[in-house]
Structure 1
Amino acid sequence: MRGIGIGYVNKIQVKYNYVLIKVNISMPSVLIPKNSLVETTQTGLLNDTVIDITPLQNITTQDIKNMNVFAKSCAKSIFVCHYDYIKGERGLNYDDLVRAATRISQRLDDPILFNLVNILLQNTIYISNEFIELTDSIVDTAVLIYDYLYRIFFSQM
């Protein structure tokens, strides 16, 4: 939780539509809010799987005061009680990353894409050259207007 190891996976049950993971929290002082994001994530080069628990709300000392996850009154609290369940999601893993990188590299290897990018770059160069010529024409026109107005106003003095 928050990057700190607080327990271990005790049991994994694979069902048709879900996976049920029993986790033992080895630190009795750890309170997990019911409003938490739970994800399984692969980390490290050896694809170690961890369960990330990220609380989604701020906890005050008033919430924690006299909290006992083993008491019957815990069911009404904002914390996960003994033998409670939290629904989690599958987080990031390296297999998804490899698949995504493969799809991107296959799309970038497409010759049609390179032709389109080449045409886009050529048109961008053409447009920028036209823009430079346009700004040069505007500058020339502004200089002519400045000279004309200068002659009119200062010739009368």
Structure 2
Amino acid sequence: MRYFMILSAMLLIFSACKEDEPVDPCTNGFLDPGETAPDCGGDCPPCSTTPITFLNLMVNGVNTATLTSDLNYDGTSWSLQLANDSLNMQIAFGTTGAIGTEPILAAGSFCYLNGTQYLGQTDGTYTISDHDVSANLMSGFFQIKFFRPGFVDTLHITNGQFENFEY
């Protein structure tokens, strides 16, 4: 009986230790040696050269999707407009469009949430992280607090990021 138990245990151990299937380094989601980006370049298919455009932001700590978002340059100043069914916001970035961090301008910045005006702003900063003037593309980050003068109501816009926005 003891011999049978030892044989059963050894059979169980050796049958459970089979070799794992090899994982294709071009589909594993990691930046492997030789790749220029995860799963592309090197021995994998070439990386896409099409820039990906996206916008992220949080309103009072909640991830918020927008239906429309535009970066505008009117010849003298930059602004970012965002909207969905309950939110309409414009953030004034100033006149330079240069890479760096600057305060958001109060003049030209506003926010409406569910029809309520938040015309005051404070603690607003933006960072231009990339500006490709030949392709008219800009990327960056922003955060701002909008408030209603005379009320204690405040909207905290955080984790704002826009990537490869065309103007």
User: What is the TM-score when the length of structure 2 is the normalising length?
Assistant: 0.22
- Based on CA coordinates, which of the two structures has the bigger radius of gyration? 1
Greater helix percent: which structure? 1
Question: Higher strand share goes to which structure?
Answer: 2
